[in-house]
Structure 1
Amino acid sequence: MGVYLVIVEGFWLKTRNPQYYYHARFWSKLYILNFGIGVASGIPMEFQFGTNWAPLSEAIGNFFGSIIGFEASMAFMLEAAFLGIMVFGWQRVNPYIHYMATILVAFGANLSSFWILVANSWLQTPAGGEFVDGKFIVQDYFQAIFNPYMPNSVMHMVLATWETTLFVIGGISAWYILKKRHEAFFATSLKIVLAAAILIAPLQLYVGHLSGEQVYRYQPTKLAAMEAQWETIPAGVAADWSMLAIPNEKTQQNDWEVKVPNALGYILEFKKELSEPVQGLKEWTPENRPHLLGLIYYSFRIMIAIGFYFAGLMFVSIIQWLRGQFSAENITQQSWLMWGWILAAPLGYIAVECGWTVRCVGRQPWTVYNYIRTTDAVSNLPPGDVLTTLISFASVYAVLLFAAFYFGSRIIRKGPDFDLPLPGEEQPAVDTKPGEFIPDERPVEAQQ
C-alpha cells in the first residue's frame, strides 16, 4: 500500500486535484494500522531465532543474523523514521518533502521484503561459503546474498504484496460503490488499482512459473511433494499433471486423482516432453522427504487458483471499463462485478500464506536445505514451556487480529474525511459534496 500512496500523492502534486489528496489521507489510515500490527507481530518472530532455534542461530548466525539485522536497521528503521512525517507532516512540511517521506516509507517497506527473502532464500539454496565444524563461514557475501533462489523469490513476494494490496483496495472500493457511498471517489481508486493490475496480475503468474522452475531445478523433493508424485518420471516423456488428488503417505500412492494429460511438461518447461526427470517421492526414504503432503499439495493449488482468479477478474473488469461501464453513472449498476472484487479482497492474504506453506513446509525435513535438519536446529526446550508460550502468543495474536478487524472496519465504515484542509490551508480549497470532486480552478498564484 505504500506504493499506492506514492502514486496517489504524486497525482495530487501533479494535478492539485483534491480528490487524490483525500485518497492519500484515507488509505494511509489502513497503512498505519497494518504497520502497527506488523510491528507487534513481527518483532517476536525475530526473537524466536534465539529462543526456539538457538542451534540454528549458532550455526548460521555469521550470515543469517546479519541479514536479519539489515532488515531491522536499514528497512524497518527507515520506514519507521519517515512514517511520522508521512502521517503528521501534511501541514508541517513542504509538500515535496512530505512526498519524499512517503516514497521513503514505501521504499523501506519493500526493502524489508528484500532482506527477509534474502534470508529465507539462503535457507533454501545456501551459497557463498561453507560449513566448518558445524558453523557456516562466509567466503563471498554477495554470492550468499544473491543465492540461486533469491532473485525470483524476491520478485514473487514483492509482486504478491502489491497484488494483495491492489485487490484489497479494489474490494473496499467496490463495497463503497455497492453501498452507493462516494461512488465517484471510489471509482477512481478502483480504476487506479485496475490499471496497475493489468501489469501486476499477469506478471505474477509468469514469475510464479519461474519460481516453480527453480523448485524443479534445486529442490526435487519439494517438487515431488507439490505434485504428489510418487514415481519418477524419466526425461523425454510427456507426463500428466495431477490437478486434484488425495495423497496417502502410508501406502505411498494417491488414493484418488484427476489428471490433465501431457500438461506437466508445459507447466514446468513450456513444452510437451520433459528435458529433465521429475523424481518421485519414493526416491527418498520417508525421513528424507516432506510430510503433510496434502497440505503442501493443496496449498500450491489454492495459490495458483487465486492467481488465475485475479487475472480473470482484471481481464473482465478491463472489458467493462472499455465499454464505459466504469463511469460514475454506470458503475453502481455493475453489482456482479463489484461482488467479484469484494470476494477478491481476502484472497491475496490466503495466497501468500499458501505460498509460504509450500515454501517452508515443502523444504522439510531441512531447515538449511541439505545441510541442517530441522530436528538439529530446534532448541532443547521442555514441551510444557513451548506449549505455554505458544498459547500465550496465540492469545495475544488473536487480540491483535480482532483489533485489526475492529479498527479497520471503523476506518472503512467512517469513510474518507472531506473536511480535512489541504496543506497550507485552514479549510478545504474546493467546496465539495461527499464523493464529488471538481478540479481546483483558482489562479495558479492562489493555488501556490
Structure 2
Amino acid sequence: MLGFSALELARLQFAFTVSFHIIFPAITIGLASFLVVLEALWLIRKKTVYLELFDFWSKIFAVNFGMGVVSGLVLAYEFGTNWSGFSQFAGAVTGPLLTYEVLTAFFLEAGFLGVMLFGRQKVGPGLHMFATAMVALGTLISTTWILASNSWMQTPQGFEIINGRVVPTDWLAVIFNPSFPYRLAHMTLAAYLSTALFVGAGAAWHLLRGHSTPAIRKMLSMALWMLLFVAPIQMFVGDAHGLNTLKYQPAKIAAIEGHWENDPGATSLPLIAFGIPDMAAEETKYAIEIPYLGSLILTHTLHGKIPGLKEFAPEDRPNSTIIFFTFRIMVGLGICMLLLGAWGAYLRWRGKLYESKWFLIFALCMGPAGLIAVLAGWITTEVGRQPWVVYGILRTQDAASNHSALTLSITLIMFIVIYFFVFGTGIAFMLKMVAQGPKEFGDDGPPHAAGQVGRPSRPLSAAPDNIDPTPVHRTSEV
C-alpha cells in the first residue's frame, strides 16, 4: 500500500484507531465532571437551568460514552494481533495495569451509569448525585491507569528483564514512574479544556442563531470560566512536562525543537519558531530563530543548552519533521484558548458577553480545537518516543507481529471505511443533539417520568429516538 512496509502499516493502523478513540474519552472525562458540577449546583441553588443542562448534556455523554467503549475494544485486540512482540515482552506490566483499569474504573462507570441516566425518578437526589460522582470518578480512575501504562512505556522503571521478558519488581515504581504525574495532569486538563470548548461552541452556535435562553447563556458562561482558569494552568503543567521529558527523553525534545547541534561559539540557544527539519540533511531549513528564547523555555536560564540530535545515533532519532509541527500546532491552539478565555473575561466585564458576534464566531470555530490539540500532543508524544515502544528497552521493529504488508493494507482500508461510517454517523448524531439545544423545564422542574419503569439501561438508549436539528428555543416569529 503506497510503498509502506509492514511495520509502517502496523503503526499507521494503530495510529488511526487510537486517534479515533482518544477523542471520545477526552469528552467523556470532561463531560462527566461537568455533570457533577451541574447537579451539585442544582441541589444547592435549586435553579432549574442547571437541571436543564444536566438533562441535555447527560444524553450527549451517553452517546459519547458508548462510542468510546466500542472504539477502545479494538485497541486491546491490536496489541495481540499486530504487536505480539510487545505483548510477550512487556505483558507482565501492561496486562495487569489495563486489568486494573477494567476492574476499578469501567465496572464503576458501568455500575452507576444507568442510575445517572435513568434513575432520577427512582432514587433520592442524594443517591443520584452520588451515582453521577461515581461515573465521573470512574473516568478519572480510568485515565490514571491508562496513563500509568503509557507513561511506563515512556519512562520505564521498577522491573527486571528475565529470559527476554519484563518482570515487575516494584509496582509503585512501575505505576508512579517519572513521567506519570506530569502526563496524567496534562491529559486530564486537556480533557477539561476540550470539553469546555465543545460546550462553549454549542452555546455560541445557538446564540448566533438568536436562541439566547438562560440555559444557553449559562453554558457559554461556565465554559469560559473553565478556559480562563484552566488554560493558564495547563501552560505551567506543560512546561513542567517538557522539563521532565528533557531529563528522560532528550532526543525527543531535540526533535521537537528541530535542534541538531550546539554552536560552539554561541552562549545561548535560540528558539526555532518556524522551519522545516530535514532528517536526511541533518538540518532545519528556513529556520526563523528567536535569540535566547530556547534557553529560557527549555532550561529556564538565558544561557542553557540541550543536546542536539546529532549527539544521538541516526537509528535512535525521532522523526523531527513530524513532531516539530505537531508540537507547534498544540502550543498554537493553547495560545488561542488563552485568548478566547481572556476575550470572554473582557466582554463579561463590559456586559457584552452574549452579544459580540465576532467573539461568538471565534468561540464556535474553537469548538474542535481542544480535540485537535489532544491529537497533536499525542502524536508528538508517541512519534517522539520512536524508534522505541518501551523507551530504551524494546524497539518498535522488534515489537511488531509477523504480518505481510498486503494483510495490513487490507485491514487498514477496512478500518478506515468502517470507522468513518460507524463513528462518523455517531459524531453526526451527537452534533444534531447539540443543535437541538436544552429543553426548558420551567420553575417546577422536569415532568415526572412515570413511564421510565422497564426502560433499557444501555447507554445509547438515553438519547432521544428522534433528533430535530431545529432548536427547541426559538425567537418570536412573525
Instruction: Verify same fold: TM over 0.5.
Output: yes
The answer for the alignment partner of 1:323 in structure 2 is 350
Pair 1:338-2:366 in alignment: no
Kindly state the Cα deviation for residue 9 of structure 1 after the two structures are TM-superposed: 0.8
1:319-376 CA distance string (max 9 Å, x none): 11112223xxxx2x21111111111110111100010101000100000000000000
Which residue pairs with 1:195 in the alignment?
225
- Tell me which amino acid in the other structure corresponds to 1:241: L
1:368 counterpart (377, 387, 390): 390
Aligned: 1:97 with 2:127: yes
The Cα shift of 1:236 comes to 9.2
CA contact (8 A) 2:199 2:220 kept: yes
- Superposition RMSD in Å: 2.0
CA distance in 1, matches of 2:219, 2:112: 24
From 338, 355, 359, give the equivalent of 2:381: 359
Matched-pair contact (CA < 8 Å) for 2:213–2:473:
no
Give the Cα–Cα distance (whole angstroms) in 2 for the partners of residues 158 and 368 of structure 1: 23
Residue by residue, what CA displacement relative to the aligned partner does 1:36-68 show, whole Å, maximum 9, x if unpaired? 111111111112111111111111111111111
1:116 equivalent among 117, 129, 146 = 146
AA at the equivalent of 1:287: E
Q: What corresponds to 1:153 in structure 2?
A: 183
Letter in 1 for 2:312: W
Provide the rounded CA distance (Å) in 2 between the counterparts of 1:33 and 1:27: 10
CA gap 1:235/1:28 in 2 versus in 1, 3 angstroms: farther
Find the counterpart in structure 2 of residue 295 from structure 1: 322
Tell me how far apart the structure 1 counterparts of residues 358 and 370 of structure 2 sit (CA, whole Å): 20
Q: Which runs of 5+ in 2 are unaligned?
A: 1-30, 451-471
Task: Please report how far the alpha carbon of residue 422 of structure 1 lies from its aligned counterpart in structure 2 after TM superposition.
Answer: 3.8
Distance change (3 Å), C-alpha of 1:233 and 1:376: farther
Which residue of the partner structure matches residue 7 of structure 2?
Answer: none
So what's the TM-score if we normalise by structure 1?
A: 0.90
Match of 1:20 among 44, 50, 64: 50
Output the CA distance in 2 between the equivalents of 1:151 and 1:65. Answer: 21
SS at match of 1:362: helix
Distance in 1 (alpha carbons) for counterparts of 2:55 and 2:473? 15
Q: 1:312 aligns to what?
A: 339
Provide Cα deviations, 1:162-215, integer angstroms capped at 9, x if missing partner: 110011101111111111114332111111122222321100011011111111
Q: Which residue among 36, 40, 52 is the counterpart of 1:10?
A: 40
Paired residue for 2:11? none
1:286 equivalent among 280, 303, 314: 314
After TM superposition, give the deviation of residue 82 of structure 1 in Å: 1.2
CA contact (8 A) 1:169 1:193 kept: yes
Higher deviation after alignment, 89-98 or 232-241: 232-241
Q: Give 1:269 shift.
A: 2.8
Mapped to 2, the partners of 1:28 and 1:273 lie a distance apart of 52
Bigger Cα displacement from structure 2, 263-272 vs 371-380: 263-272
- Summarize the Cα distance change of 1:158–1:236 in structure 2 as closer, same or farther, 3 Å threshold: farther
- Mapped pair 1:261 → 2:288: no
Greater RCO (Cα-Cα under 8 Å, separation 6 or more): 2
1:138 alignment partner in structure 2: 168
* Unpaired runs of at least 5, structure 1: 428-432, 437-448
Contact 1:128 1:144 in 2 (8 A): yes
Query: Structure 1's 226 and 191: CA in aligned 2 closer, same or farther, altered over 3 A?
Result: same
Amino acid at match of 1:394: I
Partner residue of 2:433 out of 411, 417, 427 = 411
- How many matched pairs? 423
SS of 1:299's equivalent in the other structure is helix
Deviation at 1:424, TM superposition (A): 7.8
Question: 1:164 is matched by which residue type in structure 2?
Answer: S
Residues in 2 aligned to 1:271 and 1:99: alpha-carbon distance in whole angstroms: 48
Report the AA paired with residue 314 of structure 1: G
Q: Percent identity?
A: 34
Contact 1:167/1:341 (8 A) holds in 2: yes
**Shift of the alpha carbon at 1:261?**
0.9
When structure 1 is superposed on structure 2, of 234-243 and 379-388 the one drifting more is 234-243
Q: In structure 2, what is the Cα distance between the partners aligned to 1:354 and 1:145?
A: 25
TM-score between both structures, scaled by the size of structure 2: 0.85
Q: CA deviation at 1:115?
A: 0.9
